[in-house]
Amino acid sequence: MTNMSKTNNARLPRAKGIDMATYYTPKECARKVKRIVLPPQNRQIVEEFITILGMKEKFVRHDVPIPNKVVMFGPPGTGKTLTAFYLAARLELPLILVRLDAIIHSHLGETASNIRKIFDYAKSSPCVLFLDEFDAVARTRENNDEVKEMARAVNTLLQCLDEFEGDSIFTAATNLEAELDPAIWRRFDTKMTYSLPDEERREEYISLLIGDFQHEEHVRLTASERLSGCSYADMEQIILKAKRKAIIEDLPLAASHINEACEEYRPQTIRYMS
Ligand SMILES: Nc1ncnc2c1ncn2[C@@H]1O[C@H](COP(=O)(O)OP(=O)(O)OP(=O)(O)O)[C@@H](O)[C@H]1O
Ligand SMILES: [Mg+2]
């Protein structure tokens, strides 16, 4: 590893020199994903992925490559980053979280070499490498202002993806799949789509969020209706706010707490009928 500038992020030394990444142990990852809700299709993709990694020899014998590149796309707050933590927890690997926009803005002119450094790290020590805001580099070439710089970065990324092997997993997330370079897109063996929670998923998540907190009988159903159109992240904030109100009043969680919390929080995506 080359010399890297020190930053004040206490976690960084554990990432052995990658100054644009945060390192999470498998245990830390497991703690973060206790309340993950995965719609059936994504759960199936994840389970199959993990199953395959658990029977590598068989795949080698059949000469069938093992999947190791996952792209996740969908709206904010729907569980893309959380899924990367979940994979790391399940595979008992550390998560190396990289913000690509940070690489580009702080190291203009060195984007390609930074990308290579990150992949070199993943080659040398097994991990789940997670590149957030992936569209920042993988945007289709013609959309870029710094055309040459970004074209070089995209080419490096293509090369790194092609050469990516060993025990690490590469994961990337984006809100803007339409802007990903098609050449990059097709290099992913596993693609996961994220969307806002439907009714069933909302009820499941609300139950997890309420947990064993004392609540009135119909609060789950009211909350599920009221939070229609919210992301999981917004739902979490609103339920927490509602719980705080219930605690202040020393009352069980009620529909009125949810309604008040919702009005105060003003989720952008909310679409409730009056
Ligand atoms: N599917 C989910 N199940 C449980 N909790 C979720 C889910 N999605 C989001 N959350 C909650 O919202 C928080 C933010 O989610 P996450 O960071 O995974 O969103 P994201 O899809 O990566 O969004 P962005 O596009 O903004 O990066 C999580 O830490 C978690 O508390
Ligand atoms: Mg994210």
Q: Per residue in 209-225, pLDDT tens? A: 999 999 998 999 999 99
Kindly report the protein residue whose alpha carbon is nearest to atom 25 of ligand 1.
76
Distances in Å between the alpha carbon of 173 and those of 74, 113, 163, 235, 249? 8, 21, 20, 21, 41
- Residue 176 scores a pLDDT above 70: yes
Nearest Cα neighbor of 225 from 274, 159, 156, 171 is 274
Cα separation, 110 vs 152, whole angstroms: 10
Kindly report the protein residue whose alpha carbon is nearest to atom 19 of ligand 1.
77
Distance (Å) from CA 50 to ligand 2 centroid: 21
Residues near ligand 2 ion, CB 5 Å cutoff: 80-81
H runs (alpha helix) in 78-196:
80-91, 100-106, 111-124, 135-138, 147-163, 182-185
pLDDT band at 110, cuts 50/70/90? confident
For the segment(s) 12-193, the CATH number from 3.30.70.270, 3.40.50.300, 3.40.50.720, 3.10.450.40 is 3.40.50.300
Share of the chain above pLDDT 90, in %: 64
The CATH number assigned to the domain with range 199-265 reads 1.10.8.60
Domain ranges of the chain: 12-193, 199-265
